Amino acid sequence: MEKFSVLMICMGNICRSPTAEGVLRAKLEAAGLADRVELDSAGTHDYHVGRAPDRRAQRHALARGYDLSALRARQAEAADFERFDLLLAMDEQNLAGLRAICPPGREDRMRLLMSFATRHDAAEVPDPYYGGDAGFERVLDYIEDACDGVVASLGARLGLR
Active site residues: 10, 16, 127
How far is residue 42's CA from residue 65's CA, in Å, rounded to a whole number? 22
89 exposure class (CB count in 10 Å sphere: 0-12, 13-18, 19+)? buried
Closest CA to 57 of 8, 96, 109: 8
Q: Give how far Cα 75 sits from Cα of 39, 44, 107, Å.
A: 15, 6, 18
CB atoms within 10 A of CB 76: 27
Expressed in percent and rounded to 5, the helix, strand and coil fractions of the chain are 45, 15, 40
